[in-house]
Structures are given as structure tokens and as C-alpha cells.
Amino acid sequence: MTSRLILLAGTALAAAGIAFAQAPQPGPQPQIRRGPPGERPAPLPALPDTDENRLAIVERLAATLEENYVFPDVARNYAAALRTKAAAGGYAGLGDAFPETVTADLQAINADRHLRLGRTGTGAAAGPGPRRVMRMPDASEAVGQSGWIADGIAYIDLTLFPGDPSVVERIRAFMEAHKDARAIIFDIRGHRGGGLAEMDVIFSYLFARETVLVGMDTRTAAERAGGNPLGELATLRSAAAPEGVVRRMHYALPGAQATPLRNAQIYLLTSRRSGSAAEHFALALKRTRRATLIGETTAGAGHYGRMVDFGGYAAFIPVGRTFDPDNDWDWEGVGVPPDIAVPADQALDEALRRLGVTAEQRRPLT
């Protein structure tokens, strides 16, 4: 989700093996992380950080992309570029620059905001010295300030949808405590992504009837190899799809108890840092006209997927895309535009102004 170190299904996932067509390579074999959100499996043992082992990792990454990446034609281009450069010795002697170089080579072929290779931060491959290390999100970072920002107006700062039960319940408690609000401001200006569980709770309070939000297409080969990256949720329903794709529609399902929130004004604050699951949340509310988006166009990271561990290194592999079912549009590379464009640091003031809240009426948050 992330952002999108984390992407939609990029929360920590339990390990599962994956088979490849090429001949076995030395060292730990790649593992896809899947399973219930919140699990954090131990990374594979790191290979010694040698040119030979990096070449093995490049080949495994190429094969993983061929089998799993959301667009098969782009996947073939990624794999061919990696193998061509590897055969020419282009990944020899790179030292700490290895993961960044591989990532840059992939982005030069097709700029997918989620796809990157990074270190897992453990074992022999981690080594000394400053490096960018891929890490799983901390659920304690998911929710910032929240409460009544003015009479009848609730506010919550959301920075992550990790799928952690404690975060889901915290958001449910917020919605329940503010179910009589005449307006809610959801602040996702710093939101880095995650999954569907938290937003499903929010949608259950905001919608009075079952409503299609967005469509989600997963590459069939990737789902066969690693399972459903989205999880088995009641809010996801299968739909007819083109060959090679598993399609699901994401629905808002109303809660059993009707509350004033079904008619409340909703404002969503966005920035160019709002990514992945935050953008899913934004498109769902914008497309259904359930919220007014205020701020900046979002980050443009629209492909969801899963982490694949190569032993000392890991890559986030996008296996699917989220789209508007009315016109097949998705926000990858372009972002979700706001309804009211203002600099991100002015978005909250603009929302409060539109709600008629003066500086004197504004309350401090905790």
C-alpha cells in the first residue's frame, strides 16, 4: 500500500513458496508473503552479498515479474531488460547501489510507483553503512489526531491502513463516537497505503445502500501462484473479466444501524503524498459523490500486490490494478485529482471555511 512501500495488499503477509520455470539457483528460494494482515514473517536468510548471488537475485526477480506482474507484456519487457544487463555484467561491482540500480532500470522501462527492489535489513546482505531498507509498517502509526474539531464536525488523520485488528477497532470506535456528526473531515494528506479493512468500516457508516465503489483486476497467473492478494472479504465480489484477469468489485456495505452519518457532509483532504490505498479510498468516495476532495492530486500509485523475499533483498511486485468501473480509468502515474484544488497545507482550513467554522469556533485536537 504506500506509499507505498505499502500498497493495497502490501501489509505483512505469511510466507508461501512459489515455483519458477528456470533451473534452480543457489541459496534461499523466493517466497511470497501472504496471509492475514498483521502477520510479520521472518525474512529469508540473506545470501552473501556477492556479484554471483546478486545475479541469481536478478534472475529470480525477472522470473517473478514474468509470472506475476499485472501486465504480462510489460513483465516480459522488465525481464528482458534485467537479463540483458545482467548478461553484459551491468550488475557487477555495484555494492550498496545494487537495489537502487535495479529499481531505476525497471522504472526506466515502465514507471510503476510500487515496483522496487530493496534490502530486508537483516543478515549478510544488510552489511554496514547507510542504506534504504524496506520495512513493514508499524500499526501504531496508522491514526493521528482525531476528535471534534468544531461543534458537530469530526476530524480524523489517517496515515495507514495496515489491517491490524487494533487499528480497525480504533477506527470503528471513532465512527461510533461521532455517528451524530453533521460532517466528517478525513485527512489522508500523509497516508501511505495499506488494505481494505479500515476503509470498509468507514464505508459501512457513510453509505445507506450497497454501492459499487471501484473495480480490482488481478493477474490470473499471480493469483494461482500466490493466492488472492486482496484477502477474502465480504465487500469483494467476483465479476466477469477479460481472459487472464480475475476481477472483483469492491462494495460499500451499510452497517446494520442507520446513523446520521449516512447524510453527513464528507470532506477528504489529499496531497501529492497520498498514495496507494489512500487513492483507492479517494476514488471510491469521489466516484460515488459521497465526499468532496480538497487539496492536491494524489501520488499516482495505483497497482496493488505483494512482497516477494529473495534473501537479503525483497521486491514489491504489483499483481493487480484498481479502476473506475464506469470508464476503466485508473490513477497509476497520474493520481486522483481533487474537486477543490488548494495547496495541501491549506486543505483543512478550506474544508472548515466551507463548513462555516471560524477560527474562534475551532477546537484543539488530541
What's the CATH number where 247 sits? 3.90.226.10
In the structure, what pLDDT confidence band is assigned to residue 42 with cuts at 50, 70 and 90? low
Q: Give, for 200, the enclosing helix (H) or strand (E).
A: helix 197-206
Q: What is the pLDDT of residues 225-282, one digit of tens each?
A: 888 999 889 999 999 999 999 999 999 999 999 999 999 999 999 999 999 999 999 9
What is the DSSP track for 286-316? HHTT-SEEEE-------EEEEEEE-SSEEEE
User: Residue 28 pLDDT > 80, yes or no?
Assistant: no
Residue with the three cell numbers 491549506: 346
User: Residue 331 pLDDT > 90, yes or no?
Assistant: yes
For the chain, percent of residues with pLDDT exceeding 90:
76
Burial class of 364 by CB neighbour count within 10 A (0 to 12, 13 to 18, 19+): exposed
| Grid cell at residue 325 | 468501473
What is the DSSP track for 263-277? GSEEEEEE-TT--TH
The number of domains in the chain is 1
**Residue 131 in domain:** no
Q: What radius of gyration do the chain's Cα atoms show?
A: 21
Per-residue pLDDT, 203: 98
**Residue 350 in domain:** yes
> Which range has the worst mean pLDDT, 36-40, 110-114, 117-121?
36-40
**Residue 115 in domain:** no
**Residue 244 in domain:** yes
Per-residue pLDDT, 311: 87
- Separation in Å, CA 37 to CA 60, 116, 235, 257: 25, 21, 16, 27
Per-residue pLDDT, 187: 98
Distance CA 45, CA 120 (A): 10
In the structure, what pLDDT confidence band is assigned to residue 366 with cuts at 50, 70 and 90? confident
Per-residue pLDDT, 122: 52
In the structure, what pLDDT confidence band is assigned to residue 348 with cuts at 50, 70 and 90? very high
**Average pLDDT over all residues of the chain:** 86
Residue 189, domain extent? 139-301+319-354
Per-residue pLDDT, 1: 33
DSSP state at residue 189: T
Per-residue pLDDT, 222: 94
Per-residue pLDDT, 9: 32
Per-residue pLDDT, 18: 23
In the structure, what pLDDT confidence band is assigned to residue 2 with cuts at 50, 70 and 90? very low
User: Residue 164 pLDDT > 60, yes or no?
Assistant: yes
**Residue 225 in domain:** yes
Burial class of 163 by CB neighbour count within 10 A (0 to 12, 13 to 18, 19+): buried
**Residue 56 in domain:** no
How big is the chain, counted in residues? 366
Stated pTM of the model: 0.86
**Residue 62 in domain:** no
**Residue 186 in domain:** yes
Query: Which of 49-53, 69-73, 221-225 ranks highest by mean pLDDT?
Result: 69-73
